[in-house]
Amino acid sequence: MDRRQLLALTAAATIDVAVPAIAGQAPGTDRTQPQPNRLWYRQPARMWLEALPVGNGRLGAMVSGGVRDDVLQLNEATWWAGQPYDPVNPAARAALPRVRELIFEGRIREAHALADEALIGRPSTQMPYQSAGSLLVRLLGVNDNDAENYERELDLDAAVATARFDAGGRRYRREVFASAVDQVLVVRLSCDQPGAIDAEVQWRSSADPRVGADAQDSVLTLQRNGGSAGVPGGLSLASRAKLLPRGGRMERVGASLVVRGADELIVLVALATDHRRFDLVGGDPAAITRDRLDSASRKSFASLLAEHQADHRRLFRAASLDLGRSPAADLSTDARVAISRPADDPALAALYFAFARYLMIACSRAGGQPANLQGMWNDSNAPAWGSKYTININTEMNYWLAEPANLADCVAPLVSMIEELAASGARTARDMYGARGWVAHHNTDLWRATAPIDGAFWGLWPMGGAWLCLHLWDHYDYGRDRRFLDRVWPTMRDAALFFLDTLLPVPGTDLLVTNPSLSPENDHGHGGSLSAGPAMDMQILRDLFDRCERAGAILNRDAALCRQFAAARARLVPNQIGRDGQLMEWRDDWDADAPDPHHRHVSHLFALHPSDQINRDDTPALAAAARRSLETRGDASTGWGLAWRANLWARLGAGDRAHRVLASLLSSPRTYPNLFDAHPPFQIDGNFGGATAMIEMLVQSRGDLIDLLPALPAAWPSGSLRGIRVRGAAELDLDWNERGLRHCTIRPRIAGTRKVRCGARSETVMLRPGRTIELLGPGLDVRPA
């Protein structure tokens, strides 16, 4: 149990769980009615995992909401260790044939030893994501124990973190938000009495920074150089804060700026690095931060807030989930997590869903970086797993939510990263494998490193880029934008091209397999993890080749190459059912030999979810085998492991089982007091994966099928879902009660025929752009709107 988990459990055990006197209203709050999309607490954050996140896709902060000291721990999405580098092992290409021979011969330990020496990248790890330090906003003349009627909250709809309290006969209020419009963090400290704001503002950094404070310009500056993590050189970071007091006076005191006698204080914060692209540094972060503050400081607080909220709400209000409420919804958020009985608090699941959408908007915006293992919030310079992009499940899970939850705009950074990986991965394909196309293994970083890392047991998995390319197809399939498909076609095509050059026939057969590879992070019990043609590889490649064939036909591109994709797809080792009735994880029936039968990864069930190769309609025998595998794995897992299991049970139509797994995910210790997911430690993939499972329980779509309430649990007897997207460029709203479906509205963007199903009933509907279709009741009575 790590430090964060232990602290989270200790804090949860000491929470006052008494119900406030007014439903949904804490003592001293400015609110007068319940707010469903709100996290709220009766005390400041006592640790990082109780702080509240704000972000604009580039700049993030964890807000503690302290009485005297409000510490805003900061992140800038490009503040990583290192600089552009090429980690391909120069010995790899010569050693690769021998590693393949050893694997085919079953000499797995020898293959591991040689692969560790000759195939793993140099360096053998990648660059970690870094903390950008903290900004302290101190309220002078007030002590922590002076506060009464304290409340802090994160309003998900407004995207503002607020703390309110009484002290010394005054009512103080502190608001924090991160504006994507103005690319600044905005802090306002105010009071109900004029001239009552006495405050000190200063930087806090664990590094040896260059700090400046200028009372005349009202600016605090901070310059830092990053660590190299084994690669010569590093980035530089510029942090700049501008103080805008209304009334009062300002002075410099050491490295701080002190304001006295102000009516209110606004602090604008900008951060930037000299990162320009994954393969280029040399920007001017000082100029960038100066320009952003100059622009933002010409606006009033009201304008900054209004433009920020309009931008945020455009995305946040596009979709919603309502599962009703019970008295438990009147408790503070940390109390609800600590005593969570999700069947008695369905609104907590809806809040978790809204929080996941909020996090996606806050950490993944066009022009920024994709959501990493912690989204963008990280308080360490040596975070777990480097807080990188783990692309053997975690990065992909981060983006399962985006398309169906009506956040397609938030996929833009992922698309850009995949295109950049195609560039760096082409070098790895050539130099390591002697192949065309491009490849990425199980991890990458800001510099888009694509060579295998972390040792052969973990890293020698060549499917990361292939899996990511399926998100490019999903983005097209949900939106049907042909221009986008044309843009990403070379990236998809070249990912598939790599495997045309590297797939090998199983000795004595015509079947093709990957070699070397592994079933992510799992030991098969025969000398390690390395193998040829594990089930997940074959499943990903079936989808990749299929999507490339379909995209090529739509675009009328590369017909001859697409025929080669089809031919290779037909020769892939098929899904197989083992001696225990399970879906086999490896080409050989080794599942029962694996040392960890309850392993967190369920890689061989990729074909069930997120793919739809296996489903109850078309492949019932394989669906039954997948169910057997899932039962053997068990429901207990890490945070993201629970999220994946919930999605899988939903695909199997087992709503109550999916809800049981979801209940574990939403409870302590798998959810921290601030609703962050606990792997442990914090990983954001569980938040996104858990929210995706909720959609899967209520709406599934594949091909021309829209399946309504396919895994509705008894714990959600009534509710509504709004703004959910389905494949084929359509959006729907859904209402249900104890008797089943009440109402479904479908809003198509393109014409087409769809089969809509709810339970045993189904209807075929003709969709036309701009024409709404309504389906009423369990009978699916169709009524054009």
The CATH number of the domain where 544 resides is what? 1.50.10.10
Count of domains forming the chain: 3
Same domain, 72 and 106: no
Q: If we measure between CA atoms, which residue out of 54, 157, 25, 180 comes closest to residue 674?
A: 54
End-to-end CA distance of the chain: 55
Query: Which residues have C-beta within 8 Å of that of residue 408, sequence separation ≥ 6?
Result: 402, 475, 478, 479, 725
CB 49 within 8 A of CB 12: no
Task: Tell me if 10 is assigned to some domain.
Answer: no
Domain boundary among 275, 295, 317: 317
DSSP for 126-142, please give it: -PPB----EEEEEETT-
What are the two backbone dihedrals, phi and then psi, of residue 300, each rounded to the nearest 5 degrees? -75, 160
Q: How many CA atoms lie within 13 A of 642 on its CB side?
A: 27
Say if residue 409 is in the same domain as residue 291: no
What pLDDT shows up at residue 237?
94
Q: What share of the chain is helix, strand, coil (3-state, %, to 5)?
A: 35, 25, 40
Residue 59 covered by a domain = yes
> For the chain, what percent of residues have pLDDT higher than 90?
87
Range of the domain at 619: 92-122+388-634
* 779 is a domain residue: yes
Distance (Å, rounded) from C-alpha 130 to C-alpha 565? 41
Cβ 171 vs Cβ 221: under 8 Å:
no
Specify the CATH number for the domain of residue 238.
2.70.98.50
| Per-residue confidence (pLDDT) for residue 450, from 0 to 100 | 98
Residues 629, 776 within the same domain: no
Which of residues 284, 301, 317 is at a domain's end? Answer: 317
| Cα separation, 112 vs 134, whole angstroms | 43
Is 70 exceeded by the pLDDT of residue 23? no
Question: Would 424 be classed as within a structural domain?
Answer: yes
Backbone angles phi, psi at 100, to 5 degrees: -60, -45
Q: Are 677 and 640 in contact (CB under 8 A)?
A: yes
Residues 654-667 have pLDDT tens digits of: 999 999 999 999 99
Reported pTM: 0.94
One-letter amino acid for residue 160 of the chain:
V
C-alpha distances in angstroms, 103 versus 100, 504, 727? 5, 12, 40
- What pairing do the DSSP bridges indicate for beta strands 781-784 and 773-776? antiparallel
> Is residue 20 pLDDT above 70, yes or no?
no
Q: Is the residue at 652 inside a domain?
A: no
Q: Kindly state whether residues 407 and 287 are assigned to the same domain.
A: no
pLDDT of residue 538: 98
The pLDDT tens digits for 759-783 are: 999 999 999 998 999 999 988 898 8
Could you tell me if 54 and 191 lie in one domain?
A: yes
User: Among 19-28, 180-189, 633-642, 686-695, whose mean pLDDT is lowest?
Assistant: 19-28
Q: Is the dihedral of CA 147, 148, 152, 157 positive or negative?
A: negative
How wide is the angle at C-alpha 72 spanned by C-alphas 70 and 76, nearest 5°?
170
Tell whether 530 and 456 lie within a shared domain. Answer: yes
In terms of domains, do 398 and 307 share one? no
H or E, element range at 665: helix 655-665
> For residue 229, is pLDDT > 70?
no
Q: Compute the mean pLDDT over every residue in the chain, rounded to the nearest whole number.
A: 93
Q: Is residue 306 helix, strand or coil?
A: helix
Compute the distance between CA of residue 639 and CA of residue 393 in angstroms, rounded to an integer: 13
pLDDT tens track for 244-301: 999 999 999 988 999 999 999 999 999 999 999 999 999 999 999 999 999 999 999 9
- pLDDT, residue 526, reads 97
**What span, in angstroms and rounded, lies between the C-alpha atoms of 568 and 541?**
9
> What is the spatial distance between Cα 187 and Cα 200, in angstroms, rounded to a whole number?
13
pLDDT on residue 27: 32
Residues in Cβ contact with 376 at an 8 Å cutoff, skipping those fewer than 6 apart = 55, 57, 60, 75, 77, 362, 363, 369
Give long-range contacts, CB 8 A cutoff, 24+ apart: 379-382.
379/48, 379/62, 379/73, 379/131, 380/131, 381/81, 381/128, 381/130, 381/131, 381/206, 381/227, 382/128
592: how many CB neighbours lie within 10 A of its CB?
12
What percent of the chain has pLDDT above 70? Answer: 93
What are the pLDDT digits (tens) for 712-721? 999 999 999 9
Residue 389's DSSP bridge partners are 444
φ and ψ at residue 748, rounded to 5 degrees: -85, 150
Residue 576: CB atoms within 10 Å: 18
CB count within 10 Å of CB 502 equals 21
Tell me the pLDDT band of 25, cut-offs 50, 70 and 90.
very low
Asked if 162 and 175 count as a contact pair (C-beta separation under 8 A), the reply is yes
pLDDT for residue 494: 98
Centroid of chain to Cα 720: 24
Residues 292 and 259 in one domain: yes
Within 13 Å and on the Cβ side, how many CA atoms surround 770?
Answer: 0
Residues 241 and 283 in one domain: yes
pLDDT at 11 (0 to 100): 38
Q: What pLDDT score was predicted for residue 327?
A: 87
Report strand pairing: 705-708 vs 752-758.
Answer: parallel
Sign of the dihedral defined by the CA atoms of residues 584, 588, 594, 600, in that order: negative
Residues 137, 114, single domain; the answer is no
Asked if the structure places residue 677 within a domain, the reply is: no
DSSP secondary structure string, 126-187?
-PPB----EEEEEETT--GGG-EEEEEEEETTTTEEEEEEEETTEEEEEEEEEETTTTEEEE
CA distance 182 to 300: 12
DSSP state letter for 81: S
What pLDDT, on the 0 to 100 scale, is given for residue 217? 72
Q: How far is CA 501 from CA 15, 512, 519, 564, in A?
A: 59, 11, 21, 11
Higher pLDDT, residue 181 or 141: 181
341: helix, coil or strand? coil
DSSP 768: B
Domain finish residue from 634, 660, 685: 634
Q: Is residue 752 part of a domain?
A: yes
Residue 710 lies in a domain: no
d(CA 427, CA 236): 27
604: nearest Cα among 630, 581, 636, 634: 630
Q: How far is CA 285 from the centre of its chain?
A: 27
Asked if pLDDT for residue 165 goes beyond 50, the answer is: yes
**Cα–Cα dist 535/605, whole Å:** 8
Say how far apart CA 215 and CA 250 lie, in whole Å: 6
Q: How confident is the model at residue 218 (pLDDT cuts 50, 70, 90)?
A: confident
Q: What are phi and psi of 538, to 5 degrees?
A: -65, -40
Q: Are residues 445 and 588 in the same domain?
A: yes
Contact 736, 718 (CB under 8 A): yes
Same-domain check for residues 538 and 565: yes
**Closest of 517, 573, 565 to residue 545, by C-alpha:** 565
